[in-house]
Amino acid sequence: MPAGSTSVDELLSLAVQVQQRAHVPYSHFPVGAALVTPSGRVFVGANVENAAYPEGMCAEASAIAAMASAGEREIVTIVTVCEGDALSTPCGGCRQKIREFATGDTVIHAAGPDGVRTTYSMADLLPDSFGPENLDQS
């Protein structure tokens, strides 16, 4: 599947589907994420909590781990979906995790049950960020 052939609506649908499988016995706040890479591959993740709360894994981190495990190294677009009326964007830790595999143009959509609520570029979501290029030792 070529990059760009997966629509935001398709990513949102996948994020909602995986959100239903979140393991959230402590926060009761299920989150789903779906991302697409330049090759067109799509990866999904849900948040997974454990008894050593809050030492679980966020949905974004789950999707990124699946992506990296498959050998992909760049996020073109990511959609996150949360329940409730309030806007929920990726947490600070997930912003940095997304940043590791993003460009300044990577698109992040924050959605709720009613659909996409806001859209950011990586540069807007985490301005003046620290990334892999800051560790270039050449």
Beta bridge partners of 32: 46, 81
Residues marked as binding for substrate?
47-53
Residues marked as binding?
47-53, 58, 91, 94
How does pLDDT run across 33-42, given as a tens digit for each residue?
Answer: 999 999 999 9
Per cent of the chain over pLDDT 70 is: 96
> Is-catalytic flag, 74?
no
Beta bridge partners of 46: 32
Residue 16 DSSP code: H
CATH placement of domain 8-128: 3.40.140.10
How does pLDDT run across 75-130, given as a tens digit for each residue?
Answer: 999 999 999 998 999 999 999 999 999 998 999 999 999 999 999 999 999 999 98
φ and ψ of 81, to 5 deg = -135, 135
Question: Is 0.75 topped by the overall pTM?
Answer: yes
